[in-house]
């Protein structure tokens, strides 16, 4: 999964430090990151790539000894406009397809933080201009004291088993045509398990029992934390698909499920676990 980078390690505690020429510099502008073309793929630029002294930027985290910095919003536009043709503004999902798992996690996590910062330039309570806290990863309002922490929205995803069949679905918003699992954001006032029951009933029209926790993963592309579950069908297996959310929802026999890559998403791990009859 995205966060599984052992024996490497993400050091995400808050601290202040100065950039070195070899550190990564994420430039975020208009919900996109400035990346460097390398043949058919992209790289995250380093501080030295910009050939400038004292770029206004701040430390985010490190993976092993590689530190990630984010260019301040005040300079992002200028860096984008002065970049050569080798640089392209790319959506955060571009990081997902990077071959190096360390860059994949580092880039996506940096974009998550950058997105949060860009959404909180002004206080939601009093409208004043905000600033970054110098004590923790937070945005503070100097006028009214409002404190805003990074947005991490909980999501549940569930592999519903029905004997040797798995409930699989395709979300209408997903450009990937493959079948995945039922998932959705947790609503206010409910537990993760209650969200599982509700989402399966809403999207597929069936009831589940024996909901069991499988694992979790960060999903920076939607500012989320995904909790994965397995569950068993409870009662009638007739699917009533929610057409506003899904284009397909069906029971797929174990032997008809193709292999899924398990190096990025918990969804694929849950599917593979069922396909290989491990759960
Ligand atoms: Zn305020």
What pLDDT digit, counting tens, does each position of 107-140 carry?
Answer: 999 999 999 999 999 999 999 999 999 999 999 9
Ramachandran bin of 9, using left for φ above 0, alpha for ψ from -120 to 50, beta for the remaining angles: beta
DSSP state, 268? H
The rounded Å distance from CA 130 to ligand 1 centre is 7
DSSP E strand stretches across 72-223: 87-90, 131-132, 139-140, 147-148, 153-162, 165-171, 182-185, 208-219
Q: Which residues pair with 148 in a beta bridge?
A: 139
CB contact at 8 A, 217 and 266: yes
d(CA 49, CA 278) in angstroms, rounded, equals 47
The rounded Å distance from CA 146 to ligand 1 centre is 5
**What tens digit of pLDDT does each residue of 202-219 get?**
999 999 999 999 999 999
Backbone angles phi, psi at 212, to 5 degrees: -125, 140
d(CA 240, CA 44) in angstroms, rounded, equals 44
Question: Nearest-5° angle of CA 147, CA 34, CA 11?
Answer: 50
Q: What pLDDT does residue 278 have? A: 66
d(CA 113, CA 137) in angstroms, rounded, equals 9
The rounded Å distance from CA 74 to ligand 1 centre is 20
The rounded Å distance from CA 143 to ligand 1 centre is 5
d(CA 1, CA 219) in angstroms, rounded, equals 10
Q: What pLDDT does residue 263 have? A: 82
CB contact at 8 A, 183 and 267: yes
Indicate the pairing of strand 24-26 with strand 66-71. Answer: parallel
SS3 1: coil
Q: What pLDDT does residue 279 have? A: 56
The rounded Å distance from CA 28 to ligand 1 centre is 24
The rounded Å distance from CA 73 to ligand 1 centre is 19
The rounded Å distance from CA 117 to ligand 1 centre is 15
Residues 6+ apart with CB under 8 A from 194: none
The rounded Å distance from CA 118 to ligand 1 centre is 16
The rounded Å distance from CA 129 to ligand 1 centre is 8
- Using CA atoms, how far residue 34 sits from 69, 84, 109, 113, 213, in Å, is 13, 11, 15, 15, 37
The rounded Å distance from CA 140 to ligand 1 centre is 8
SS3 128: coil
Q: What pLDDT does residue 213 have? A: 98
Q: What pLDDT does residue 53 have? A: 86
CA atoms within 13 A on the CB side of 21: 6
List per-residue pLDDT tens for the chain, 279 residues long: 999 999 999 999 999 999 999 999 999 999 999 999 988 889 999 999 998 889 999 999 999 999 999 999 889 999 999 999 999 999 999 999 998 999 999 999 999 999 999 999 999 999 999 999 999 999 999 999 999 999 999 999 999 999 999 999 999 988 889 999 999 999 999 999 999 999 999 999 999 999 999 999 999 999 999 999 999 999 999 999 999 999 999 999 999 999 999 888 999 999 999 999 865
Q: What pLDDT does residue 197 have? A: 98
The rounded Å distance from CA 113 to ligand 1 centre is 20
The rounded Å distance from CA 84 to ligand 1 centre is 39
């Amino acid at each position: 999964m995205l966060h599984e980078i052992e024996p490497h390690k993400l050091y995400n505690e808050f601290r202040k430090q100065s950039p070195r020429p070899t550190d990564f510099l994420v430039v975020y502008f208009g919900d996109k990151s400035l990346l460097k073309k390398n043949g058919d793929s992209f790289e995250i630029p380093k501080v030295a790539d910009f050939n400038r002294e004292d770029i206004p930027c701040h430390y985010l985290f490190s993976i092993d000894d590689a530190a990630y910095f984010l260019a301040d919003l005040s300079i992002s536009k200028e860096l984008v406009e002065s970049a050569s043709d080798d640089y392209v503004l790319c959506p955060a999902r571009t990081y997902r397809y990077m071959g190096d798992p360390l860059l994949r996690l580092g880039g996506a996590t940096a974009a998550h933080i950058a997105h949060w910062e860009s959404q909180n330039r002004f206080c939601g309570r009093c409208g004043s201009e905000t600033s970054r806290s110098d004590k923790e990863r937070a945005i503070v309002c100097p006028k009214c004291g409002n404190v805003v922490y990074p947005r991490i929205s909980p999501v549940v995803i569930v592999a519903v088993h029905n004997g040797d069949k798995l409930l699989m679905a395709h979300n209408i918003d997903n450009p990937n045509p493959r079948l995945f699992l039922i998932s959705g954001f947790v609503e206010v006032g409910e537990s993760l398990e209650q969200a599982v029951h509700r989402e399966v009933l809403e999207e597929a029209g069936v009831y589940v029992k024996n909901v069991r926790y499988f694992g979790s993963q960060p999903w920076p592309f939607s500012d989320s934390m995904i909790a994965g579950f397995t569950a068993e069908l409870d009662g009638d297996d007739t699917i009533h698909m929610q057409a506003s959310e899904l284009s397909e929802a069906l029971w797929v026999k174990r032997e008809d499920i193709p292999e899924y890559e398990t190096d990025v998403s918990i969804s694929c791990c849950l599917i593979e676990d069922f396909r290989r009859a491990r759960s």
